[in-house]
Amino acid sequence: MDPYMVKPGQKVHLAAWNPDDTGDFAGKPEARKALKKLRKELVELQERLYAEDKHKVLIVLQAMDTGGKDGVIKSVMRGVNPQGCQVASFKVPTPEELAHDFLWRVHSRVPGRRFITIFNRSHYEDVLVVRVHDIVPEDVWRQRYEQINNFEKLLADTGTLILKFYLHISKDEQKRRLEARRDTPEKRWKFAVGDLKERAYWEDYMQAYEEALTRCSTPWAPWYVVPANKKWYRDLVVARTLVEKLKALDMRYPEAPEGIEEVQVPD
């Protein structure tokens, strides 16, 4: 019953998904309070995940530049034990990565049992930037939707909970954020002139996202379109989804070995 989940088979038209949506929340203070509560739950759930040593959790974050991938990692994962959590960022592939199939570098970073791994960008770049800029021929990237679905099925079948979030901002909001980066000394290091070039391809990116979201939201690895113009609502939606799905795993602390109460701890 999640309004932001792309139902398998549902055709996504991003123009119909409101990036300004804030659900039932009146404003930031209320949402931040709710987020704080969710974070507490998340910390507890992650302890269980680690203790139970059974599940793996993969979170995929995709967005246009300034969409808030870094912000989500910072504000949702705050407080989670770093020992059980990893972030993998995927940049322009190296020559070694390019010498392999496109899933090679990604597969090597997926979570093992008891870990949460966050992908900051992901294998979806290979049907997004690669498609927009014709980096490989169309018949090559076209095959990738099915290859991605099969790859994610393998991960899911072997114990991975997969949650994929597209942080949906509007083109206007990106302009405001780029200007803020330009004008704020503490943000300026993030301002990349190259991002302006990508911005010119906005419509092509939206088309590429629409097809990726439509073709790769599966029962075993759903996509969520997160309204992301308001940072406080974006964080809340991601945290809420994560907590809900982790709860559904019904994780248990391992049974204590029999007779442990009688074991004497030597002086």
Which residues of the chain form contacts with ligand ATP (CB under 6 A)? 65, 69-70, 90-93, 120-121, 125-126, 129-130, 135, 192
User: Rounded to an integer, what distance in angstroms lies between the CA atom of residue 232 and that of residue 222?
Assistant: 22
In the bound state with ligand ATP, the residue whose beta carbon lies nearer, of 16 and 92, is 92
Cβ proximity to ligand ATP: between 194 and 266 the closer is: 194
The helix-helix angle for 231-247 and 69-76 (nearest 10°) equals 60
Least distance to ligand ATP, CB of residue 105, Å: 8
Please return the burial class of 69, using the count of CB atoms within 10 Å of its CB with bins 0-12, 13-18 and 19+: buried
- Kindly tell me which of 50 and 102 has the beta carbon lying closer to ligand ATP: 102
Token match 């007779």: residue? 259
Identity of the residue, 21 or 125, whose beta carbon is nearer to ligand ATP in the bound complex:
125
Distance CA 119, CA 109 (A): 9
The gap from C-alpha 106 to its chain's centroid, in whole angstroms, comes to: 14
- Collapsing DSSP to helix, strand or coil, 62 comes out as strand
The residue sitting closest to ligand ATP, measured at its beta carbon, is 125
Whose Cβ is closer to ligand ATP: residue 40's or residue 100's? 100
Minimum CB distance to ligand ATP, residue 33 (Å): 28
Least distance in angstroms from the C-beta of 195 to ligand ATP:
7
How is residue 10 annotated by DSSP? P
- 6, 10, 44, 153 from 149: Cα distances, Å: 15, 15, 31, 6
Nearest distance from C-beta of residue 59 to ligand ATP, angstroms: 15
CB of 127 to ligand ATP, least distance (A): 9
